Amino acid sequence: MDQLYPLLCVPHCQPRIWGGRRLAELYGKALPPDEPIGETWEVADLPEGHSTIGNGRWQGAALGEVVAAWGGALIGSAWPAGRFPLLVKLLDAQDDLSVQVHPSDDDCARLFPTHHGKDESWVILHSEAGSILHGAVEGQDWERFAAALAADRALDCLRRVEVAPGDVFRVAPGTIHALGRGVVVLEIQQPSDSTFRLYDYGRGRQLHLEESRQVICWDSSPEPRALPRPLPATWGGRELLVDVPAYRLERLRLEREATWSIDPRSVQCLTVLSGRGRLAGADLTLSPGRTILVPAQLGRVTITPDEPLTVVLAGAGGVPLAEAC
């Protein structure tokens, strides 16, 4: 195996009917011309699309090639061998997305063996008076919702939440949800594209009502936002955003040079939200919208901010990510 180093990710662009060009405007993404791009898959190792590597010996290679070569030294011991264990995206909702729901791993094992479970979280990056749908209003069940669908009143049954940059939402499997127009998010999820569509604003695309009926959870939490929990850090701010079996998310606000140990159980996906800086030993500039993969067995990472820098780290559930050396 060749020497490990941090990997700069080059995203795979996904056209969507609800997408636009804002990811180029906000983050300088090189989008294909004349297409509404709804998603850039910053870290992806799926049959439906893969990201590539933008630096070093593996420049130009698909992420899956590096996973095959480096194995556990890249992804860590907490994950099963195989494809890369997370999917990281930027989403630009220029129009309302379809109302949908995702199955869990257990749902797929029992009911949908060709699908994969999908637990995801959103960090709101940009909002133009935007909102999301997250869960159902109190007292809903499938019979009431199906009647509302038939009467074209499905949205009346769902909880609408106004959002602002910095808000965090976990979308657990079984949660009815949708992004509203004017919202840009960072999405971290299990590596799955399994989506059951419930309502699509008359766009004519296929719906998956029976599949949705079997996986929807009607009990919505009273507070849909994830509540960040402060964690110890000497170089600025560190927050735990989400920690579930599928992944863990931390948000770091770096005001001075920061060094932390890499737990060999998990790769770290580092996405820059704001500010600029440098990743030591890799000749990599950190700028908004960039995602870097830090191999699990790299040992440690040092970041030097050129200005206040905010990043999100994603890794394996239950594994601390930015523990001081």
> Residue 269: CA atoms inside 13 Å, Cβ hemisphere, count?
27
CA-based nearest residue to 59, from 6, 125, 23, 108: 6
CA-based nearest residue to 52, from 119, 7, 5: 7
Provide the token pair at 234.
Answer: 């000497």
Query: Quick one: 313 exposed, middle or buried, by C-beta within 10 A (0-12, 13-18, 19+)?
Result: buried
Q: Kindly name the residue from 22, 197, 251, 290 that is annotated as catalytic.
A: 197
Whole-number Å distance between alpha carbons of 309 and 273: 8
The DSSP code sequence of 94-154 is: SSPPPEEE---HHHHHHT-TTS----EEEEEEEESS-EEEEEEPTT--HHHHHHHHHTT-G
197 catalytic, yes or no?
Answer: yes
Whole-number Å distance between alpha carbons of 232 and 223: 25
- The values of phi and psi at residue 280, to 5°, are -65, 145
Whole-number Å distance between alpha carbons of 300 and 105: 32
Beta partners for residue 7, in sequence order: 293
- Dihedral-angle region of residue 82 (phi above 0 means left; psi in -120 to 50 means alpha; beta otherwise): left
Count of C-beta atoms within a 10 Å radius of residue 94: 19
Q: Residues, the chain, total?
A: 325
Whole-number Å distance between alpha carbons of 170 and 273: 18
Provide the token pair at 105.
Answer: 């791993």
Active centre residues (catalytic): 197
